[in-house]
Structure 1
Amino acid sequence: MHYPHLTDDILIDFLKKDDAKAFEVIYRRYWRQLYGFVYQQLGSKEEAEEIVHDLMLSLWQNRQQSQIQNLKVYFFIAARNLTNKFIKSQINLRKYREYQILHEVYEKIDTNEIFNVNELSKAIEQALKKMPEKTATIFKMSKIEELPVKKIASQMDLTEKAVEYHITKSLKMLRLYLQDFHSDN
């Protein structure tokens, strides 16, 4: 039998019967398309490969109880869902890291040395002036205008990862530039 010429429906039937050759043909048929789709969403080779690997592993592990009607549709919906799940986990991780950095900055501010909020605001403005222009702009868009990363990326014609990099960089620089407001205790 010449497997590569079989339809998806026949391959799925063989797959349900533990046919490893059918799985291999499915894998070869769809891997590149799925990888391209996920990579386009994430911009990361390693993460795209991992998501496609997880998707294919899930197909093999659940082969006997799968109710797949259209393999291509199944793959792209599953890839989209796994990609969205990954992005959400990364957003939560990034937000948590940002919170930690900002919390550390504000926790170490000695309130006896700050006479008013305007003084801190001026210090933040001065810190932003010392940052690269793009980094400062992205910080303002994210933290002051409260725009989501996706919108900033679109407006600045950058990837979401690049925007996240600039946000993290700006927070680290802000912590450094606001050392004068830190307590020595």
Structure 2
Amino acid sequence: MSYTDLADEMLVDLMKSDDADAFKIIYQRYWRQLYGFVYQQLGYKEDSEEVVHDLMLSLWQNRKHSQIQHLRIYLFIGARNLTNKLIKSHINLRKYREYQLLHQVFEFKDSEDIFKANDLTNAIEKVLKKMPEKTATIFRMSKIDEIPVKKIALKMDLTDKAVEYHITKSLKMLRQHLQGFHSDN
């Protein structure tokens, strides 16, 4: 009987006893399905491959201590959790970058800058008027009204990713149009 004919439970038991061939069969059996599942969530080839690789590496490294009863369910829950963790880290990184950008845009270096604040507000409004209406609206909701992405998505009947796209697009336009603001004033 070859390994490919073995049930998942038997492969897991063999893997727990350090059988690398059993792990190889598990990998071959589930890699494509897991990759497709993760890719649906992320939409990026490299990130999807990395999630599946990390999941399989974790499976092998924790083989002695794992309490796997249903391998397929275990793998897909693990893939979902790693995918969510990656999405959160990307969102946190993007939020941090947005914070840095806005902090630079709105930072007052001395008391003279207080008088320039009105000019900056006017400059921002001009840039917002050049943006597509939906992008400007989402920027205002997110950065001025401080409404969370999920609530904006619900209110505007968009996905979270679409809202994040509009926020990123608006910040890019602001950055481009306001690049020389402090040096000009």
TM-score bracket relative to the smaller structure: 0.7 to 0.9
Report Cα offsets for 1:83-127 as digits up to 9, x if no partner.
Answer: 111111111100110011111111267763665866544432221
Where relative contact order (Cα < 8 A, 6+ residues apart) is larger, the structure is 1
Report Cα offsets for 1:117-146 as digits up to 9, x if no partner.
Answer: 665444322211112444324323422343
- Secondary structure of the equivalent of 1:69? coil
- Cα drift, residue 174 of structure 1: 1.5
2:27–2:56 Cα contact (<8 Å) kept: yes
Unmatched segments (≥5 aa) in structure 1: none
1:43–1:159 Cα contact (<8 Å) kept: no
- Kindly indicate whether residue 55 of structure 2 is the aligned counterpart of residue 78 of structure 1: no
Change in Cα spacing, 1:11 to 1:180, as seen in structure 2 (3 Å) is closer
Matches within 5 A, 1:29-68: 29-68=29-68
Matches within 5 A, 1:136-147: 136-147=136-147
Aligned to 1:103: 103
2:108–2:114 Cα contact (<8 Å) kept: no
Aligned to 1:10: 10
- Cα drift, residue 178 of structure 1: 3.5
How many Å separate the matches in 1 of 2:103 and 2:48?
A: 33
Report Cα offsets for 1:49-96 as digits up to 9, x if no partner.
Answer: 100000001111221222211111211221111111111111110011
Unmatched segments (≥5 aa) in structure 2: none
Report which stretch shifted further, 120-129 or 72-81: 120-129
1:129–1:136 Cα contact (<8 Å) kept: yes
How many Å separate the matches in 1 of 2:76 and 2:136?
A: 37
Change in Cα spacing, 1:93 to 1:141, as seen in structure 2 (3 Å) is same
Identity of aligned residues (%): 70
Report which stretch shifted further, 103-112 or 44-53: 103-112
Read off the aligned partner of 2:90 and give its amino acid letter.
Q
Segments ≥4 residues shifted beyond 6 Å: none
How many Å separate the matches in 2 of 1:159 and 1:21?
A: 41
Report which stretch shifted further, 110-119 or 120-129: 110-119
Structure-1-length-normalised TM-score: 0.82
- Secondary structure of the equivalent of 2:112? coil
Report which stretch shifted further, 100-109 or 65-74: 100-109
Change in Cα spacing, 1:83 to 1:136, as seen in structure 2 (3 Å) is same
Count, aligned residues = 184
Alignment RMSD (CA, Å) = 2.8
2:35–2:49 Cα contact (<8 Å) kept: yes
- Cα drift, residue 7 of structure 1: 0.9
Report Cα offsets for 1:2-24 as digits up to 9, x if no partner.
Answer: 22221111010111122222111
